Chains A and B, each alone.
Chain A
Amino acid sequence: MFINKLYLRAFGKFLYKRIYLGKKLNIIYGENETGKSTIHNFIEAMLYGFGEDPKGNELFLKYKPWNSDLYKGTISIDNFKGKKYTVSRDFLLGTMQIFNKDSKDNNQIAIEEKINSPGDYFLNINKVSYRNTISIKQLGNKTDKELSKELKNKIINLSNSKDESISISRILSILDNIKDEAGSEDNPKTLLGQYALRLQELEKSKEATINANRQVMFLAMEKKKINSKIQEIDTIISNMLKELEEYELSVEKDKYLRAKPLKDELEELNKKFKSFDEKDIIKSYNFKDYEEAFKLHTSLNAMKNKRHDLSSSKDEVEKALKFSLEDVSNNIDKNFDMEKVNSNFTSYENNNKKIENITQKIESGKKALEKFDLDEINKFVERHKELEETNSKLKLLNVLLNDKSYESMKAFVKSQKHKGTILTVLGILGFLIAGGFSYGAYYYNIMEYYYGGAISILGIILLILANKPKVKSLNARKEIESFECQHADYIKNIDLLSIKVNEIIKECNCEDYDDFNQKYEKNRNDHNTFLEKNKLLEYDKSTLNDLINENKEIERNLLKDLKVLLIHEITPENIKKANEIYERKDKVKEDIINYKNALEEKNQSLNKMDKEISYEDKRLNMILSSNSMNSMEEFELKVNNYNNYIELKNKKENLGNYIQTILGKSDYEELKQKTEKLNIYEAKEIDKKEQQLSIFKKNEEKNKLLISINNIDKEINEIENSVRNLAEIEEEIEFYEDKKNQFKERIQVANIAAEKIIEISDSIKGDFMPLLRKSISENFAYITNGRYSGVNIDDDMNITVLREDNKDRFIEIESLSGGTLDQLYLSLRIGLSNILSGSQNIPIILDDSFVQYDSNRLKKSIEMLAKESERRQIILFTCQDREVEYAKQLNVKFNLINL
Chain B
Amino acid sequence: MSNIRFIHTSDIHLGTKLNNKNFSLKERQKRREELWDTFDEVINIAKNEQISYLFIAGDMTQSDYLNFKGLKRISQKFETIIDTKVIICCGKNDPYNINVLYEYFDWPKNVYFIKETENVQKIYFKEDNLCIYSLSWGNLTKNDNSQLIYDISVEEKMINVLLLNCDTDSGTDNFSIDADLIKNRFDYCALGGKHQFTKVKDNVVYSGTPEPLSFDETGEHGIIKGLLEKERLVYDFYPIAKRKYINRNIEVNLSYSFNKILDMIKFSGDTISNIKDYIKVNLTGIVNADISMDEIKNEAKQFFYYIEFEENFTYKNIDENNFEDSDFNIIESYKLQFNNHNSNLEKKAFELGLEVLRKEKVVN
Residues of A within 8 A of B (CB): 52-54, 56-57, 116-117, 120, 124-126, 128-129, 132, 160-163, 165-168, 170-171, 174-175, 178, 213, 216-217, 220-221, 223-224, 227, 716-717, 720, 725-728, 730-732, 734-735, 738, 745-746, 748-754, 756-757, 759-761, 763-764, 835-836, 838
CA of A178 to CA of B349, assembled, Å: 12
> Closest Cβ of chain B: how far from A169's Cβ, in Å?
11
- CB distance A128 to B332 under 8 Å? yes
Q: A120-B322, A752-B349 are in contact. List 15 more A-B contacts (CB 8 A).
A: A53-B258, A124-B326, A125-B326, A128-B331, A165-B364, A174-B360, A221-B104, A223-B104, A727-B32, A734-B19, A738-B21, A750-B349, A754-B353, A760-B333, A764-B330
B361 within 8 A of A: yes
B255 within 8 A of A: yes
**B326 cross-chain contacts in A, Cβ below 8 A:** 124-125, 836, 838
B256 within 8 A of A: yes
10 contacts between A and B (CB under 8 A): A126-B332, A166-B329, A171-B357, A175-B356, A727-B32, A750-B352, A752-B353, A756-B349, A757-B330, A836-B328
**B332 cross-chain contacts in A, Cβ below 8 A:** 126, 128
Which of chain B's residues 1-54 have a Cβ closer than 8 Å to chain A? 15-19, 21, 25, 28-29, 32
CA of A217 to CA of B102, assembled, Å: 10
**B337 cross-chain contacts in A, Cβ below 8 A:** 756, 759-760
Tell me which of B65-73, B84-92, B114-122, B223-231 binds A. Answer: B65-73
- CB distance B290 to A53 under 8 Å? yes
CA of A751 to CA of B353, assembled, Å: 10
Nearest neighbor of A738 in chain B, beta-carbon distance? B21
B146 within 8 A of A: no
CA of A873 to CA of B327, assembled, Å: 24
- CB distance A745 to B338 under 8 Å? no
CA of A763 to CA of B334, assembled, Å: 11
- CB distance A753 to B352 under 8 Å? yes
Partner of A216, one of B32, B99, B101, B333: B101
Which of chain B's residues 348-364 have a Cβ closer than 8 Å to chain A? 348-350, 352-353, 356-357, 359-361, 363-364
**B338 cross-chain contacts in A, Cβ below 8 A:** 756
**B288 cross-chain contacts in A, Cβ below 8 A:** 52
- CB distance B361 to A745 under 8 Å? no
Partner of B25, one of A56, A161, A735: A735
Report which residue of B29, B329, B360 has the largest number of chain A beta carbons within 10 angstroms of its beta carbon. Answer: B329
CA of A376 to CA of B188, assembled, Å: 128
**B364 cross-chain contacts in A, Cβ below 8 A:** 165-167
**A746 cross-chain contacts in B, Cβ below 8 A:** 348, 352
CA of A117 to CA of B318, assembled, Å: 11
CA of A668 to CA of B350, assembled, Å: 103
- CB distance A749 to B259 under 8 Å? no
Partner of B65, one of A178, A717, A726, A756: A726
CA of A79 to CA of B17, assembled, Å: 72
> Closest Cβ of chain A: how far from B350's Cβ, in Å?
7
> Closest Cβ of chain B: how far from A338's Cβ, in Å?
111
> Closest Cβ of chain B: how far from A37's Cβ, in Å?
20
> Closest Cβ of chain B: how far from A525's Cβ, in Å?
114
- By secondary structure, the A interface counts as helix
Indicate with 1 or 0, residue by residue over B296-339, a CB within 8 angstroms of chain A CB atoms: 00000000000000000000000100110011111111100110
CA of A132 to CA of B361, assembled, Å: 11
Nearest neighbor of B102 in chain A, beta-carbon distance? A220
B200 within 8 A of A: no
B294 within 8 A of A: no
B169 within 8 A of A: no
Nearest neighbor of A763 in chain B, beta-carbon distance? B333
**B334 cross-chain contacts in A, Cβ below 8 A:** 756-757, 760
B346 within 8 A of A: yes
Which of chain B's residues 262-293 have a Cβ closer than 8 Å to chain A? 288, 290-291
- CB distance A224 to B106 under 8 Å? yes
**A763 cross-chain contacts in B, Cβ below 8 A:** 333
- CB distance B360 to A171 under 8 Å? yes
Minimum-distance CB pairs A-B, first 6: A52-B257, A753-B353, A161-B330, A752-B349, A220-B104, A165-B364
- CB distance A749 to B104 under 8 Å? no
**B21 cross-chain contacts in A, Cβ below 8 A:** 734-735, 738
Nearest neighbor of B364 in chain A, beta-carbon distance? A165
- CB distance B349 to A753 under 8 Å? yes
CA of A170 to CA of B255, assembled, Å: 32
**B357 cross-chain contacts in A, Cβ below 8 A:** 166, 171, 757
Nearest neighbor of A116 in chain B, beta-carbon distance? B322
> Closest Cβ of chain B: how far from A734's Cβ, in Å?
7
Nearest neighbor of B65 in chain A, beta-carbon distance? A727
- CB distance B353 to A757 under 8 Å? yes
**A220 cross-chain contacts in B, Cβ below 8 A:** 68, 101, 104-105
**B330 cross-chain contacts in A, Cβ below 8 A:** 160-163, 166, 168, 757, 760-761, 764
Which of chain B's residues 188-223 have a Cβ closer than 8 Å to chain A? none
Which of chain B's residues 125-162 have a Cβ closer than 8 Å to chain A? none
- CB distance B257 to A53 under 8 Å? yes
**A838 cross-chain contacts in B, Cβ below 8 A:** 326
Which of chain B's residues 224-261 have a Cβ closer than 8 Å to chain A? 255-260
**B181 cross-chain contacts in A, Cβ below 8 A:** none
B64 within 8 A of A: yes
**A753 cross-chain contacts in B, Cβ below 8 A:** 349-350, 352-353, 356
**A178 cross-chain contacts in B, Cβ below 8 A:** 352
Nearest neighbor of A752 in chain B, beta-carbon distance? B349
**B333 cross-chain contacts in A, Cβ below 8 A:** 162, 760, 763-764
**B258 cross-chain contacts in A, Cβ below 8 A:** 52-54
> Closest Cβ of chain B: how far from A714's Cβ, in Å?
12
- CB distance A213 to B104 under 8 Å? no
Nearest neighbor of A150 in chain B, beta-carbon distance? B364
CA of A227 to CA of B360, assembled, Å: 73
> Closest Cβ of chain A: how far from B324's Cβ, in Å?
12
Nearest neighbor of A210 in chain B, beta-carbon distance? B64
Partner of B331, one of A163, A716, A717, A731: A163
> Closest Cβ of chain A: how far from B331's Cβ, in Å?
7
- CB distance B360 to A756 under 8 Å? no
**B327 cross-chain contacts in A, Cβ below 8 A:** 162
Nearest neighbor of A754 in chain B, beta-carbon distance? B353
CA of A726 to CA of B66, assembled, Å: 8
- CB distance A731 to B256 under 8 Å? no
- CB distance A727 to B345 under 8 Å? no
**B101 cross-chain contacts in A, Cβ below 8 A:** 216-217, 220
**B257 cross-chain contacts in A, Cβ below 8 A:** 52-54, 56-57
Given A727-B16, A727-B32, A756-B353, also A52-B348 (CB < 8 A): no
> Closest Cβ of chain B: how far from A50's Cβ, in Å?
10
Given A126-B323, A223-B104, also A163-B67 (CB < 8 A): no
> Closest Cβ of chain A: how far from B212's Cβ, in Å?
17
Nearest neighbor of A216 in chain B, beta-carbon distance? B68
- CB distance A162 to B68 under 8 Å? no
CA of A520 to CA of B261, assembled, Å: 177
Partner of A749, one of B106, B345, B359, B361: B345
**B363 cross-chain contacts in A, Cβ below 8 A:** 165
- CB distance A52 to B25 under 8 Å? no
- CB distance A126 to B353 under 8 Å? no
CA of A746 to CA of B338, assembled, Å: 17
Given A126-B323, A716-B68, A727-B32, also A217-B99 (CB < 8 A): yes
- CB distance A166 to B360 under 8 Å? yes
> Closest Cβ of chain B: how far from A762's Cβ, in Å?
11
Report which residue of B19, B327, B331 has the largest number of chain A beta carbons within 10 angstroms of its beta carbon. Answer: B327
- CB distance A717 to B69 under 8 Å? yes
**B260 cross-chain contacts in A, Cβ below 8 A:** 52
- CB distance B67 to A52 under 8 Å? no
- CB distance B348 to A745 under 8 Å? yes
> Closest Cβ of chain B: how far from A773's Cβ, in Å?
16
Partner of B17, one of A52, A170, A730, A749: A730
CA of A685 to CA of B283, assembled, Å: 87
CA of A168 to CA of B62, assembled, Å: 54
**A734 cross-chain contacts in B, Cβ below 8 A:** 19, 21
